[in-house]
Amino acid sequence: MLLADKSVIITGASRGIGRAAAIECARQGANVVIGYSGSPSSRAAVDELIQEIEALGRRAVAVGAPAEDPDTGQLLVDAAVEQFGGVDVFVNNAGICPFHSFLDMPRQTYLDTVNTNLNGAFFAVQAAANQMKRQGRGGAIIAVSSISALVGGGMQTHYTPTKAGLLSLMQSCAVALGPYGIRCNALLPGTIETDINKEDLADQKKRDYMAGRTPLGRLGRPEDLAGPLVFLASDMAQYVTGASLLVDGGMYVNLQ
Ligand SMILES: NC(=O)C1=CN([C@@H]2O[C@H](COP(=O)(O)OP(=O)(O)OC[C@H]3O[C@@H](n4cnc5c(N)ncnc54)[C@H](OP(=O)(O)O)[C@@H]3O)[C@@H](O)[C@H]2O)C=CC1
Ligand SMILES: C[C@H](O)[C@@H]1OC(=O)[C@H](O)[C@@H]1O
């Protein structure tokens, strides 16, 4: 049990990478605050996740609130304090990637992407860090960034800067929060099959291209991220801060 009795907040935990992370954290002994958008269409998945976590003998509560709202981070922290007595781990995972070409990018698509993926994250990380500082026992903050923090994408010009921004945020927060024993790291998934890219990967040619670029021979699954995330959250990584962990099946290094 790497996270025994820890209180973990994960944003965007109703589906995909966040959901797999929530289940693994619970398996490792944590109680989990499940962040999601608040959309009624996600509620059934959230209720199912709560049941799954409770079946593992752990507790879970859900907070539905938009990641782009600067107050959402504090709501998540308040729920963790009220239900589980504090915050040990904060995972900023919620994100969107509405694929679009650059030259005709609608202004609102750009703003929504930056507000959801980066601006909201800043305030949420700040709220979690202040709570951890008050508690005085350190903590771990993880931002789910992306391989896209390191490389470009012609249909992701609004998205890749948010992922580079999250990586940079973790580096600077590692410096700012190290004195309080709060570790800050970035997790960089490669291409992981989830709802975020369902439409994009429905194109068989694109799908084969992405899988073909991956030395391990397949696209990623949400569960592939869960172990690396638990590692960063746990005391196994007690001297790891300001780092980024690429989990991409080798895609990034595959030039030729
Ligand atoms: N899949 C991939 O290939 C990669 C993903 N990533 C990153 O991983 C993270 C998770 O992505 P993934 O699991 O693939 O995506 P999914 O689309 O499967 O899940 C997205 C999650 O984020 C939540 N979310 C979306 N918009 C908002 C919002 N405005 N406010 C609050 N919550 C919101 C969703 O909640 P709800 O159900 O309520 O909508 C859901 O829980 C993202 O940050 C993404 O950029 C990084 C690299 C690769
Ligand atoms: C949504 C994309 O498929 C996914 O997101 C990222 O961050 C990477 O660019 C992946 O390919």
> 165-215, pLDDT tens digit by residue?
999 999 999 999 999 999 999 999 999 999 999 999 999 999 999 999 999
Domain boundaries, the chain: 7-246
189 alpha carbon, closest ligand:
1
Query: Ligand 1 pocket, 7 CB below 6 A?
Result: no
Percent of the chain with pLDDT over 90: 100
pTM for this one? 0.99
Alpha-carbon span 4 to 30, nearest angstrom: 6
Give the pLDDT score at 170: 99
Give the pLDDT score at 67: 98
Of 156, 96, 140, 155, nearest in space to 245 by CA: 140
Task: Count CA within 13 A, CB hemisphere, residue 173.
Answer: 31
Of 223, 222, 209, nearest in space to 251 by CA: 209
Give the pLDDT score at 34: 98
145 alpha carbon, closest ligand:
1
Give the rounded distance of the alpha carbon of 1 from its chain centre.
21
Q: What is the mean pLDDT of residues 21-44?
A: 98
Q: What is the mean pLDDT of residues 1-15?
A: 98
Percent of the chain with pLDDT over 70: 100
Tell me which of 15, 116, 199, 207 to substitute to probe ligand 1's pocket, judged by most ligand atoms within 8 Å of the beta carbon. Answer: 15
Give the pLDDT score at 8: 99
Mean of all residue pLDDT scores within the chain:
98
**CATH number given to 7-246:** 3.40.50.720
Query: Ligand 2 pocket, 211 CB below 6 A?
Result: no
Give the pLDDT score at 148: 98
Q: What is the mean pLDDT of residues 23-32?
A: 98
Instruction: Name the residue with the closest Cα to ligand 1, atom 41.
Output: 12
Specify which residues 220 forms β-bridges with.
Answer: 192
